[in-house]
Amino acid sequence: MGPLTRDKRIALLDAPSNLGLRPPADGVAPGCYKAPWALRDAGLLPRLGANDAGAVVPPRYVSTWSPGAGVRNGRAIATYAGRLASRIGGILDAGELPVVLGGDCSILLGPALALRRRGRFGLAFIDAHDDFRHLGNSPHVGAAAGEELALVIGRGEDYLTDIDGLRPYFREEDIVAIGVRDPQIFADFTESDIALVSGVDGPADAARDVLVRDELDGFWIHVDADILDPSVLPAVDSPEPGGLSPDQLIDLLAGLLALPGAIGMELTVFDPDLDEDGAQAALLTDILVEAASRR
């Protein structure tokens, strides 16, 4: 018997997609797709006592792109979102709580679609960046991992934002963004109906008013590893100073998982190529295990 998050057993699902990222160098694929393997090598599955839900294999990553060419790997991301949504839906049908290991932030489209098919859900968006780029505030869009929050509220190409005619996957007023510290925050993000929580004291309590409401059927938790301060975890695509400590992130996740309606979570953007000795994978594993144990 695995541990329970409230009344649900955890199911660990790999989403090893880097389709939403720009290449770190010409002809080089980002390393985020290796994150599920690194975390499993660090013992995440047995330490969680989780069911192994396997992996959803992504389409081929294509590194070539130019401004005006639309979203990098956009059609592949849409295809992957549909496949990931189906797998997550199956986990939810089994009464389990999915913990999805990315991969880059574009994997959020998968759970967003899965939940939209089931009803109206909220989103706890834990990220150092607002990831709100779209053609309304940028001359072009490229890497979907920098625009996934805009995509899931319906701002972007129809083939990404309106799969199955279900735009928007999340409503603005059902989202709380926690820990955004990117100095280049888009004005339309701060002027939206998305709630912002910037402090580190009691953010889960502050999120309750958004996420635990009669209108909602539950909520999903998105965690970008760059929420941690780069002094403790630099192995991410775009590190930003001033992030959370490991203990602060544990408190935040444990608090969110303990709220009524927590239905699943994902971890994104950890890059094992930047973690030569595996210490950062071990740290992330410790954080997830401790947060789950305190839910």
As averages over each run of 10 residues, the pLDDT of the chain (295 residues) reads 61 97 87 98 98 97 78 94 98 98 98 98 97 85 89 96 98 96 88 86 82 97 98 96 95 95 98 98 98 92
* Residue 55: strand pairing partners: 14
Radius of gyration of the chain (CA): 17
pLDDT at position 69 is 64
- CA angle (51, 54, 55) in 5-degree steps: 145
Would you state the pLDDT for residue 220? 98
Listed in order, strand segments (DSSP E) in the chain are 4-5, 8-15, 51-55, 96-102, 122-126, 175-178, 195-197, 219-224, 262-268
- Which is it for strands 122-126 and 175-178: parallel, antiparallel or unpaired? parallel
Is residue 178 a contact partner of residue 203, using CB atoms and an 8 Å limit?
Answer: yes
pLDDT at 24: 84
Cα(166)–Cα(183) distance, integer angstroms: 32
